[in-house]
Structure 1
């Protein structure tokens, strides 16, 4: 059930180490993971998509093997850092932006800030479509409770992985160990607390940035696909209805018996859905 991640690459971007994975030839695709996660959440899709695309998977700043930013970690700062990484990777034209969870919001922010970088958006259980979010993330906004909850511990790592997947078979020892290694990074707690504080409160996701971002994305009139897992415990599937209302021209799909990461639990079906979507919107 687990795809072993291949070795990752490393770029130096604005003097900062960035862990990434680049493979394939063809139209460019950018894969962006969620909060507290890494590019390894897209290992299966990276392998599938790189058969006929130039695929760039990135560890966001302060995540996985990428060094943290000097200024506070906010959504605009992450989007700007991704733009710099794409320049360093030679991706200067429009790319298909694919983002899971926080990565979806980063993709939308990147497209809104520089529309020339976006050929389309694929938003996977994306942040930005509702206030509701798992209590585990809301509690992080309460300091010092947040720091206590972010302490590296095998039980916490396992519980987090279990919340992400509907099928417990995906909660492997390898994934738990990887999550624990990420949590042990010296800057990991600071990055998480900065992001959580900028995006939400103990009540849920802040409405101000969501409203502004969705208004900007709707105005772009980009080809957009929004997908969700119906058993998502992190961002509830009810957000898909909000996405349809705010982005009425977007296509949407709900995966059955699937959690927060359809790109893993429904890898083959996800790949087929996304590539068919792109083929419909190819130039000409």
Structure 2
């Protein structure tokens, strides 16, 4: 079920599946994206878990909340959304790209709310990032680029996300254009990109601080990457394994930035094994 909540005066879109009494999973998407990036996992994981995905505040079809868009404000907005849902139990948090960094920020902010981490092609482990995201940091250029999102540009972005172009569907292009047409989309995208990166790449201070904070609250962690990622290169998996030396990990061959879509069955099987093992260890 997809519905809209009022959180701190803003409309936030959430999608929920599964029995509300089952252990909760929280799914977080990347920069400029939406909860649709996790749709395949709802049908695969909701048999044993309550699965919740959200449009991060200011992204997808959610309104932004008051104040600047930062990693901290995004994580705080997610916590406020969970409070509005009445979900206060520890969650299995899964984050893709920017969503992985938000997941780690949630752990740093509220360790009691996070049971496990699943980081999928996650930001936070290196400075390398796709050129079009670095270009947003160039004064004036970023705003112009985000104002010119037409069908051709939207299709090009979708192609950058997947190794298999069969996933670059007209439905995805049309939805990307719908999101890009929202009045706040360009500004939120730009604020986030500039807060986290420069033309030279992703800033190191916030990455270093975040990993130091997360290290104080160790949690069972699964790290997943697509070998052919054009957004955050798979070479960053090595740094992620150093940051989480006890983590389980998986590198999917011939897979782009979104293994949860492009390798939906394999991803769900891997996640289920990880979460089930965690549940058995806890009992």
TM-score using structure 1 length:
0.96
**Structure 1 SS opposite 2:69:** coil
Partner of 2:9: 15
Residue 120 (structure 1) shift: 0.2
Residue 16 (structure 1) shift: 1.1
Residue 181 (structure 1) shift: 0.9
Partner of 1:247: 244
**Structure 2 SS opposite 1:281:** helix
CA distance in 1, matches of 2:101, 2:259: 17
Partner of 1:100: 96
Root-mean-square deviation over aligned CA pairs: 0.8
Residue 155 (structure 1) shift: 1.1
Partner of 1:232: 229
**Structure 1 SS opposite 2:216:** helix
Partner of 1:4: none
1:106-255 alignment, distance < 5 Å: 106-151=102-147, 152-255=149-252
Residue 280 (structure 1) shift: 1.2
Partner of 1:261: 258
Check conservation: 2:8, 2:65, Cα contact below 8 A: no
Specify which of 32, 35, 39 is matched with residue 43 of structure 1: 39
CA distance in 2, matches of 1:78, 1:195: 10
Residue segments in structure 1 that go unaligned for 5+ positions in a row? 1-6
Partner of 2:55: 59
CA distance in 1, matches of 2:139, 2:46: 42
Check conservation: 2:129, 2:201, Cα contact below 8 A: yes
Residue 237 (structure 1) shift: 0.1
TM-score using structure 2 length:
0.97
Residue 64 (structure 1) shift: 1.5
Q: Is 1:84 equivalent to 2:80 in the alignment? A: yes
CA distance in 2, matches of 1:132, 1:64: 25
Quick check: 158-167 or 18-27, which moved more? 18-27
